[in-house]
Amino acid sequence: QQQVKQSPQSLIVQKGGISIINCAYENTAFDYFPWYQQFPGKGPALLIAIRPDVSEKKEGRFTISFNKSAKQFSLHIMDSQPGDSATYFCAATQGGSEKLVFGKGMKLTVNP
Amino acid sequence: EAQVTQNPRYLITVTGKKLTVTCSQNMNHEYMSWYRQDPGLGLRQIYYSMNVEVTDKGDVPEGYKVSRKEKRNFPLILESPSPNQTSLYFCASSFGTSSGNTIYFGEGSWLTVV
């Protein structure tokens, strides 16, 4: 049973465009939703994270939108750049849990 | 520099030949874990450790062993590797399991079992 569903699996956008990655979760006990960015040949690294007490968090060109009632959250990359080309994983966890549940990842390609 | 170090980074081995992938972190983290990454399946947790001498199974523990004798080290052991264990493996660590603790990943170990 997949607890965090991520879509799309891949995305190609032009430089300057907006990239949107969606995730849906099932466990209402989740209270922390990080996004990880993975470049080829590297391990995932924390990009941005949100808690369910806010509906949006912005850091530079990256914004997380959170819809608690729909149990969905999404990552928006504004003004996408070729350097943003990577695999993006959404994840979820709850305080005190040993488990960080990952989505299956989305490969983003930003064309120059 | 804060880092999680895995070795080897690349390995080709034969079915049944025991191997160990080492993992070391220099951040004094209590929590360490191993993941495998496969196309279309994302990151799946193999084993985790809450602290020294405390380990537990993740989602896909079959065919793997771990040990945590020292806080900084968390080796992954494949006693009798099989081709279905061909994968990209990541070690990770963090200060704990409270939500909000950043998990740091190593750079990965590509393992091929023939």
pLDDT digits (tens, 9 = 90+) for B38-49: 988 999 999 999
Cβ atoms of residues A99 and A71 within 8 Å: no
Residue B99 has pLDDT above 70, yes or no: no
What pLDDT does B75 receive?
98
The confidence score (pLDDT) of residue A52 equals 87
Residues of chain A whose beta carbon is less than 8 angstroms from a beta carbon of chain B are: 6, 9, 31-32, 34, 41-46, 49, 51, 89, 93-100, 102-105
- pLDDT surpassing 80 at residue B100: no
> Would you place residue A2 in the very low, low, confident or very high pLDDT band (cuts 50, 70, 90)?
low
Q: Across the interface, do B98 and A31 touch by the CB < 8 Å criterion?
A: no
Confidence of residue A94 (pLDDT cuts 50, 70, 90): confident
pLDDT tens column, A44-89: 999 999 988 899 999 999 999 999 999 999 999 999 999 999 999 9
Chain B CA closest to residue A37 = B105
CB contact under 8 A, B99 and A32: yes
Of B90, B97, B106, the CB nearest to A97: B97
Interacting residues of B80 by C-beta distance below 8 A, sequence separation 6+ = B15, B16, B18, B63
Contact residues on chain B for A43, CB-CB shorter than 8 A = 4, 90, 92, 105-108
| 8 Å CB contact of A89 and B43 | yes
Q: Chain-wide mean pLDDT for chain A?
A: 92
Residue B95, pLDDT > 90, answer no
* Separation of CA B89 from chain center: 6
Residue of B42, B56, B105 lying closest to A103 (CB–CB): B42
Is 60 exceeded by the pLDDT of residue A1? no
- Amino acid in the structure at residue B107: E
